[in-house]
A and B are shown apart, each in its own frame.
Chain A
């Protein structure tokens, strides 16, 4: 990543702000009852309302409001008691009404913040506002060579929340980190699936550069069409380099809207400042101001789950886990929930942490979404761990049992029983194994009797091997010494 270091070296500081659109996880659209399910045939999830037929009226989806407020609360925003929808007017074939219903001067939420970075590099990025709006449809060019364009309006009217940050980000990496944190958060609290490639998380970036130490902001450009975190970072690097080059050659940065072309790895000018749209916002007369009564906000507050930061801190405090473990375990809500349930059941939080981080994450190949479909429940994992702590099985056996449980979801006791994996605690059975081992290792027995106790582990290993790991280690140790000492006589 050359750009930020270069810019630092040249004495310029980038100033970056983001506008992120999150598709809210509602079943129906924001102003009609059409489904929001992804991947349906074109124009199959539409009705007169979202098609903008004459005479139709929007009716606000309460669930969309609740999810937006959940996000607002999670970001520490101030929830407005009265917010107002507004019409944003522009013509485009994927916008049936010729205006988008959005919010303008009185958005749903004001302020808030999100932490980025770790340790000493932690920074607080300010959130300017959050507002609700409807999505537009999708245009694509026909592939039949006719030169025609096709419009799919399934996405039209899907509820979005737009998150606008303060210009607090200073490097493309920070922008990337912010998006990662935001994605983690929206997924964690269940307001958005966070799928950037599928379009449920979209980002525009504003960027300017200024001489380091300067307080004044430079002229900014806006970059659109950033459909992956990597593209956000790449596009910002390009644009920062370009702006610095302009300033270095004593030129002036012109305000413009740029489009990132990911396939060619370059920026194109979409429109200059002179061509900027006048959206002619005005209050939406078809919707009354949105009034959030105190009780409603209180009820929504109850829907906000414990946030990743708080949970991480609690894991360290409550379960005495290392920072690292707590960070890994709280990466997603699914994993944190799984861990907590398993840990409580097992009675050994650190052991549970080790098992969840290595065995469980291994079983789902690091994708915690798969935990939902895993036959193994956290309770059964807890039971398995409890068997280790009680000495009923060794860690090695437990791993074999775990593998079986991950596939069948079976109860650990039953699997141990069925596979004959339980520990051998019968002294006579172990004595018989010891007798075999000593008979087969006569030279080492002589060594031992001559005072070379270091061969003891060798015997233990042999006994364990003969028992396929099932011999109780402590009992084996004691009986082995007894057997060897008996040879002295």
Chain B
């Protein structure tokens, strides 16, 4: 039995029926990581000892007949910007190398309570700043479907791990598409919940008003099950929303008859890859055949969102990353003569080029004399974008569009051109400014055998409609299965 090829819900059922144990499952994934991760570099750290011990404990509990949690024995890979107590949590940044948080993120507490087993921490763009996982301070992650291509980012490690069967499910974080875009590039289901439904406590902040933790899985149902465990109010996160937003599994069986699906055709002109355009056509057809009412919606030009996003996100980041000063934890420059020297030394050595670029940008847009022209205008633009989405969602229950304009690009292709890199998020960023929910659903392979992803977007707390539409799309288009095992190159 190939446990690593199974979905999390199939593994859960197998463990519950005692066809195999939680330990069998965890060992299978650890073995596969040992065999294959060297070529893709999805993981920064693997917690084998703890994972096996936890699996054994769960097996004992199951043997005693106690009710296993909804994720009992399910291994999960966790993006390295989510705090796991006592284990390395670096955001793939040298400035946090060796840092072990003294607490578990709320989502980790919830996962443990549900019986999930943390397999390890996955690679990412440093502090989630990037769209290709090339900005990691510890080496890039490769796309399991083609080692010359990027896995997307910033949750590239989590997406690659799920695509290659190194973990059945994973956690990522989505600030401007960082869960959905790598989901598309690696061919896995990947969801960004409504801002506020999942606690951010323990998610190392990039841009606080945009960041949201989201699940990645081999199918929509895995995303839904994980979402239901993760969501809920957290008194320790003041921005967390009141509860009651779980989506019953039964929603997946409801179909899409009568569901209004809007496609923002205005966005989909030049620059859209032909294979992606074809996949969009197939997706529209699939939803139509299932009884959905597919029509056109108009939305503000997404380039406004990109501009607003890079001002708001970098402004927040410039403050969020100020705490890495070498005084209390993490890397610390040696030989500094005074505090200013300590800061400059620590931060110049510890942060990579993209992070430094964004800190400088964010500092600039908040500076006296520039605040009104940049930050304040970006906030106004954000309000307009929000209103625009609200208006669109008055006419459509969900929106459908490609997750990215192209399939995965080549490693190194965009590293010299930050603006081209920023534009690879053009279809994902607007949703974060609006704070609604979205999901990437695999929609076949390109002619070059690279995954293509379609994105469904829904209004704030519109997860039920989102999952219904996603399930419909998935059942008509089919999942991709595991990426082919990478050959030595």
Chain A residues at the B interface, C-beta cutoff of 8 Å: 48, 51-60, 87, 89, 91-93, 96-99, 151, 278, 280-282, 285-288
Contacts and interface: CB of A to CB of B under 8 A. Distances in A.
Given A91-B322, A91-B339, A98-B325, A53 B235 contact: no
B83 A55 contact: yes
A288 B238 CA distance: 7
Contacts of B363: 280
Nearest to A149: B339
Contact of B204 (A55, A92, A278, A280): A55
Interface residues of B, number: 45
Contacts of B204: 54-55
16 contacts: A48-B101, A53-B102, A54-B83, A54-B204, A55-B82, A55-B89, A57-B239, A60-B238, A91-B325, A98-B322, A282-B366, A285-B207, A286-B208, A286-B239, A288-B238, A288-B239
Of B99, B205, B322, the most chain A CB neighbours within 10 A belong to: B322
Interface string B317-337: 011011101011100000000
A357 to B, nearest CB: 50
Contact of A57 (B236, B367, B371): B236
B201 interface: yes
Interface in B54-103: 81-83, 89, 91, 96, 99, 101-103
A59 B236 contact: yes
Contacts of A60: 238
Main secondary structure of the interface of B (DSSP, over half): loop
Nearest to B340: A91
Nearest to A32: B236
B367 A278 contact: yes
Contacts of A288: 238-239
Contact of A285 (B316, B327, B343): B316
Interface string B331-363: 000000001100100000000000000000001
A133 B315 CA distance: 21
B445 to A, nearest CB: 37
Given A55-B202, A285-B316, A99 B238 contact: no
B322 A99 contact: yes
B446 interface: no
B367 A98 contact: no
Contacts of B202: 55-56
B322 A97 contact: yes
A96 B99 CA distance: 16
Main secondary structure of the interface of A (DSSP, over half): loop
Interface string B193-215: 00000001111110111000000
Contacts of B237: 57, 59
Contacts of B105: 55
B35 interface: no
A48 B238 contact: no
B368 interface: yes
A278 B368 CA distance: 6
B375 interface: yes
B101 A55 contact: yes
B94 to A, nearest CB: 14
B241 to A, nearest CB: 10
A424 B65 CA distance: 89
Given A91-B339, A282-B315, A57 B200 contact: yes
A282 B378 CA distance: 12
Nearest to B235: A59
Contacts of B375: 282
A68 to B, nearest CB: 17
A98 B239 contact: no
B339 A92 contact: yes
B136 to A, nearest CB: 17
B323 A285 contact: no
B375 to A, nearest CB: 6
B315 to A, nearest CB: 6
Contact of B91 (A48, A54, A286): A54
Contact of B329 (A53, A99, A282, A285): A53
A116 B290 CA distance: 78
A367 to B, nearest CB: 41
B328 A48 contact: no
A-B residue pairs, 8 tightest by C-beta = A98-B322, A285-B208, A280-B366, A285-B209, A54-B204, A52-B323, A55-B202, A55-B204
Contacts of A51: 328
Contacts of A97: 319, 322-323
B239 A99 contact: no
A96 B322 CA distance: 9
B221 to A, nearest CB: 29
Given A91-B343, A286-B208, A57 B96 contact: no
Nearest to A276: B368
Given A57-B238, A285-B209, A288-B239, A99 B319 contact: yes
A280 B329 CA distance: 25
B319 A282 contact: yes
A54 B319 contact: no
A15 B278 CA distance: 74
Nearest to B362: A280
A179 to B, nearest CB: 31
Of A54, A92, A98, A99, the most chain B CB neighbours within 10 A belong to: A54
B99 A54 contact: yes
Contacts of A92: 339
Contact of B103 (A48, A89, A98, A99): A48
